[in-house]
Amino acid sequence: MNTSQRRIAHLDMDAFYASVELLRYPELRGLPVVIGGRPEHMPTLQADGSKHFFRLREYSGRGVITTATYEARAAGVFSAMSVMKAAQLAPDAILLPVDFDSYRHYSRLFKAAVAGIASHIEDSGIDEIYIDLSHLPDDTLVLAQRIKQAVRDATGLSCSIGIAPNKLLSKICSDLEKPDGLTVLEMSDIPARIWPLSVRKINGIGPKAAQKLALLGITTIAELAQADLSFLQIHFGRSYSAWLYEVSRGIDQRPVITDAKPKSISRETTFERDLHPRQDRLMLSEAFTTLCTQVAEDLTHKGYVGRTISIKLRFEDFRTITRDFTLTTHTADPAVIRRAAGECLRRVSLRKKLRLLGVKASALSPIHSMHDAAISPQRELPLIS
């Protein structure tokens, strides 16, 4: 199928986590709300029946923002920002704790609703999917409106959809008219609608690449499209330069992959304060066990077992290391994952305080394709037990 025949949609839920919370707390609609608090920031019921909501100014620690309502974003608060910095920008914004179980529930609901209309779907994350509409007979706008309504009926939430000849352009388009947006783009629209945008709008151009491009006088997609390939190769290398050259012109041949297998499943946590490997042994042990249990639950929920277990440690000086351990057979057993992660930990010299701890399972296989097998016993943890 040539490019002009392809109709690829990117559906992105609007401020997903925050929107789910507004279903639970409709009285917060229209207010700046930030998701990123701890369990103790759960709203409390007062004697008069009203709820007490925590404010950003009441927060202390070094957590990060998961997402924020559009009212909070207007104040400069965005995802991945530290909560303390957000508190400086919007001290009166409402702070709510994250509830991933609820977000996963609504994620399943909206994806099932879309699948009832268009089955060729690539799962791209908890709040976004790609949809190949190319083989459906319906008009593009009619299809998009049906999908948006189906999502709203199933979840009570709004989404934004971008439809273009490829995944690259559809993802850019889904962000152009948020919230509750619908943007349809043809290749002929690229000069007027895509080229004036910042290069950061291209998924795959991160902060470091954007900074390097800016030093070369390239800040917009139009300026990137005007750059010679040979010039880009001098500064970025052959492979990445070729990719920059193509995406600046809206070229993307990637298919919508409906049966993508995850390469790994991981969980990590950043501590509110740096934890000492001995003095805070109990706290580290509890966090370690929780992460292993969460990875096991995620594996089971997604129908996979893993064979290689890895840990990630970030110390107080921001040095980050990883270690991995390969089991004799695949598993989704939390106890086995815990012991394997302990073997990884045994190979680390724990002298400095820790600020982040992570656990990952990789070398995945669908659970239905595996036979039960005995897991070889592992040794216990040296410090975190």
Of the ranges 3-7, 63-67, 100-104, 174-178, the best mean pLDDT one: 174-178
- pLDDT tens profile 145-172: 999 999 999 999 999 999 999 999 999 9
Could you give the residue numbers annotated as active site? Answer: 128
- Determine the 3-state secondary structure of 44 from DSSP: strand
Burial class from Cβ neighbours inside 10 Å (0-12, 13-18, 19+) for residue 252 reads buried
DSSP E strands: which ranges in 43-135? 44-45, 51-52, 54-55, 67-68, 94-97, 121-125, 128-132
* Triad 343, 347, 350: Cα angle to 5°: 110
Instruction: Count CA within 13 A, CB hemisphere, residue 29.
Output: 8
pTM, two decimal places: 0.75
Mean pLDDT of 41-69: 89
pLDDT of residue 307 exceeding 60, the answer is yes
Q: Looking at residue 369, what is its pLDDT?
A: 65
- Using left for φ > 0, alpha for ψ between -120 and 50, and beta otherwise, residue 125 falls in left
pLDDT of 205 above 70: yes
Q: In 3D, which of 96, 69, 66 has the Cα closest to residue 82?
A: 66
Look at residue 265 and give its three-state secondary structure: strand
Q: What is the mean pLDDT of the chain?
A: 90
Nearest Cα neighbor of 158 from 99, 123, 110, 124 is 110
Burial class (CB in 10 A: 0-12, 13-18, 19+), 243: middle
Average the pLDDT over 206-220 and give the result. Answer: 94
- Helix or strand holding residue 109 (H, E): helix 100-115
Given pLDDT bands bounded at 50, 70 and 90, which one contains residue 370?
low
pLDDT at 191: 97
Query: Which residue type occupies 203?
Result: N
pLDDT higher than 80, residue 382? no
Name the percent of the chain lying above pLDDT 70.
95
Decide if pLDDT at 385 tops 50: no
Q: What is the pLDDT of residues 129-145, one digit of tens each?
A: 999 999 999 999 999 99
Give yes or no for residue 372 having a pLDDT over 70. Answer: no
317-329 per-position pLDDT tens digit: 889 999 999 999 9
Write the burial class of residue 332 (CB in 10 Å: 0-12 exposed, 13-18 middle, 19+ buried). buried
CA distances (Å), origin 65, targets 30, 44, 92, 266: 19, 21, 15, 19
Q: How long, in residues, is the chain? A: 385
- Annotate 209-234 with three-state secondary structure: HHHHHHHCCCCEHHHHHHCCHHHHHH
Tens of pLDDT, residue by residue over 247-289, are: 999 999 999 988 777 889 999 988 878 899 999 999 999 999 9
